[in-house]
Amino acid sequence: MLDINKLKKNFDEAELLIKETREMKYDFENWDLEDITSNDLSELSLRVKDNNKSGSSTATGSSPEVLDNLIKGAKKSVQYGEPANFNFSDKKIDAVDHATENRFSKTESDELIEYAQEIKNIFKEKKPDLTLNFSISKNYEKTKIITTNEADLKENKTGFTFIFSAPIPGGGSELYRFYESDSFFREIPEADINEFIEEYKMTEKVSKPKTGKMPVLFSPGSLYFFLVSLETGVSGQNIYQGTSPLIDRLGESIFSDKLTITDKPRLEGTSYRKSFDDEGIPTSDKTIINNGKLNNYLYDLEYAARLDKEPTGNGLKKTLFGSGIDTPVNPAFVHPVITPGGYSKSELLAEIDEGILVENVIGFHSSNYTQGHFSVQAHGFHIKNGEIQGRLEDVMLAGNIYDDFKNIIGIGDKAILSQMGSFPYLLVDKISVTGE
């Protein structure tokens, strides 16, 4: 691996992020095995400071030639770099757990296939005419960060993911369920399968609400649009650039007092866990929204320095549209969690005389989401007298999270893991819906 002294000779400061990943994934389409993916990848990201300018370079592999090219790329980049007013990490964390790698290695491919087959058999027995797609995977990731400021941080983690879905008639969306854990699944989610099938049966007919303001029940998977908007609002980058609607609003009530949101980077039981961010800053739980009040902003190294704040361990190689070794660092949630309330899903549905249940939203990226605005197509179900009437078609939602999410009626009693965080069902009143 790269000698830290070589970095010291070439740059005023340097940070090297090393990620090693292994993955095995099986994809099934319309019941049958369609694709098997196996990856074994080593990726490097070098960020540097020289003459008060920043630069970066990324590479795949770890040979001496790759490492030399990484330095050459960073030297070119720093010539045209932005002013650098921060220092790289000097922290030390050893969060490597050898049992973690064993969980990955000891879970054989046959076990993945056997689990998927058991799920397939349950669906075949209950609804054989369903167009069922599903995937199951295991992955192992080892992360190491070293800097010329003597930082030395390392962590490893394993993740197991299972997703099943079926296309909704009319095209354009799917009904799906997502499961993720840091250990292999042992229980079959049969209750979830039964609920999924009952909901899917209701997609066979279209039922549209009238246009107007009405209650909307958001599923955990659909709430990403809300969290992405909030994330841009509490980003230290947007606070510094003056584009956030939440500037100078710490301590103010911006949502219903029923709502509490905490970033929980070290949440046990999930592979999203991080002991340190992508800049080598230790992570910690932090309450962002406390009973509706704005409690914290998110800072990476750069924007903490610009605003004379402490970094919060939220510097991630992540954007709205993806992540990866070559993605610039941005202030972002690691694993946001909405605190559950006291309502079951059926109780929340019973609160709706007429409204909709949203399973997914389409077109969010074209909204002015940085200001909290949303104008999206809603995929899900029309609800009347607490009962599902049929699937939505050509139904739109529009509003602003900072106005509409002051009107929360109730929050589900269980935070369900999604691909962005852990969220319960959330029932919000008086959202503008365009239907009939």
Q: Quick one: pLDDT at residue 1? A: 61
Q: Are residues 132 and 263 in the same domain?
A: no
Q: Cα–chain-centroid distance for residue 302?
A: 22
Q: Are residues 61 and 13 in the same domain?
A: yes
Q: What is the pLDDT of residues 80-107, one digit of tens each?
A: 999 999 999 999 999 999 888 888 989 9
Three-class DSSP labels, the chain: CCCHHHHHHHCCEEEEEEEEEEEEEEEEECCEEEEEEEEEEEEEEEEEEECCEEEEEEEECCCHHHHHHHHHHHHHHHHCCCECCCCCCCCEEEECCHHHHHHHHHCCHHHHHHHHHHHHHHHHHHCCCCCCEEEEEEEEEEEEEEECCCCEEEEEEEEEEEEEEEECCCCCCEEEEEEEECCCCCCCCHHHHHHHHHHHHHHHCECCCCCEEEEEEECHHHHHHHHHHHHHHHEHHHHHHCCCCCCCCCCCECCCCCCCEEECCCCCCCCCCCCECCCCCECCCEEEEECCEECCCECCHHHHHHCCCCCCCCEEEEECCEECCCCCEEECCCCEEECCCCECHHHHHHCCCEEEEEEEEECHHHCCHHHCEEEEEEEEEEEECCEEEEECCCCEEEEEHHHHCCCEEEEECCCEECCCCEECCEEEEEEEEECC
> Which letter does DSSP use for residue 414 in this model?
S
> Does residue 146 sit in helix, strand or coil?
strand
What burial class does residue 365 get, using C-beta atoms within 10 Å of its C-beta: 0-12 exposed, 13-18 middle, 19+ buried? exposed
Q: Are residues 172 and 233 in the same domain?
A: no
Of 175, 198, 221, the residue at which a domain comes to its end is 198
Q: Are residues 255 and 151 in the same domain?
A: no
Q: Quick one: pLDDT at residue 176? A: 92
**Pair 356, 217: CB distance under 8 Å:** yes
Entry field: residues in the chain: 436
Q: What is the pLDDT of residues 318-367, one digit of tens each?
A: 987 778 999 999 999 999 999 999 999 999 999 999 999 999 999 887 78
Average pLDDT over the chain, rounded to an integer: 94
Q: Are residues 49 and 102 in the same domain?
A: yes
Q: Quick one: pLDDT at residue 171? A: 63
Low-confidence ranges of the chain (pLDDT < 50): none
CATH code (residue 24): 3.30.2290.10
Of 155, 172, 198, the residue at which a domain comes to its end is 198
Q: Quick one: pLDDT at residue 213? A: 97
Q: Quick one: pLDDT at residue 98? A: 86
Q: Are residues 416 and 315 in the same domain?
A: yes
Q: What is the pLDDT of residues 389-413, one digit of tens each?
A: 999 999 999 999 999 999 999 999 9
Sign of the C-alpha dihedral computed for residues 270, 275, 277 and 280 taken in this order: negative
Q: Are residues 250 and 395 in the same domain?
A: yes
Q: Are residues 290 and 434 in the same domain?
A: yes
Q: Are residues 34 and 76 in the same domain?
A: yes
Q: Are residues 312 and 370 in the same domain?
A: yes
**Pair 244, 233: CB distance under 8 Å:** yes
Sign of the C-alpha dihedral computed for residues 176, 37, 271 and 160 taken in this order: positive
Domains: count for the chain: 2
Q: Are residues 192 and 242 in the same domain?
A: no
Q: Are residues 422 and 313 in the same domain?
A: yes
Of 163, 198, 233, the residue at which a domain comes to its end is 198
> Residue 322's domain spans which residues?
205-436
